[in-house]
Amino acid sequence: MIGNQIGKRYAEAIYDVALQKNEVKSIYEVLNSVMELYKTDVDFRNFITHPLIKENEKKETLKKIFSDSNDGLEILFFILEKGRISQIREIVAEYVKLDYAKNQILDVEATFAASLTEEQKEKLSKNLEKKTGKKIKLVVNVDKSLIGGGIIRIGDEVIDGSIRRQLETLTHK
């Protein structure tokens, strides 16, 4: 819970800076890259969080890795100086939420019994955009156990139109 609060506070500050510099996407890319490195590379994670390694050495390493993004580097240095690099996941997650809210984008997860064609995905996205009035970022999953139909998650709302659910409803009546 505290990690989310920290992530939100830092993400808001970083997002404000990114907006002012018109670098929202490039700063996201740097933050996301660091997050991926932190999650997947144990050596990087140990190096960047090690208390005996000097901050200047860590900054030099980050400079070598992310030399093409000055604004992104400044923000990484800020996170490093504040000792919040271990909360990079929370910061990135909150940063994305802020960007989606500002640009009216919704994350939608759709799960179906069979895979959809590109035409079906496009049609689903357009219908959801009409329903919600927002842009849709659609992720489609396949779950053979659904038998047929599908489940759509829009934020906290779940629309369950699966045959499995309909059968469960019939058996409980």
pTM: 0.71
- Mean pLDDT, range 89-118, rounded to an integer: 90
How many CB atoms are located within 10 Å of the residue 124 CB? 19
More confident residue, 170 or 144: 144
Contact 7, 94 (CB under 8 A): yes
Q: Which pLDDT value is given to residue 92? A: 94
| Mean confidence (pLDDT) of the chain | 88
Confidence of residue 98 (pLDDT cuts 50, 70, 90): very high
More confident residue, 67 or 89: 89
- Mean pLDDT, range 81-97, rounded to an integer: 92
HEC sequence for 96-148? HHHHHHHCCEEEEEEEECCCCCHHHHHHHHHHHHHHHCCEEEEEEEECHHHCC
User: 60-81 pLDDT, tens per residue?
Assistant: 999 988 877 777 889 999 999 9
Find out if CATH 1.10.520.20 is the number for domain 2-101: yes
- Mean pLDDT, range 46-59, rounded to an integer: 93
Domain boundaries, the chain: 2-101, 104-171
Distance CA 30, CA 123 (A): 33
Confidence of residue 58 (pLDDT cuts 50, 70, 90): very high
User: 26-40 pLDDT, tens per residue?
Assistant: 999 999 999 999 999
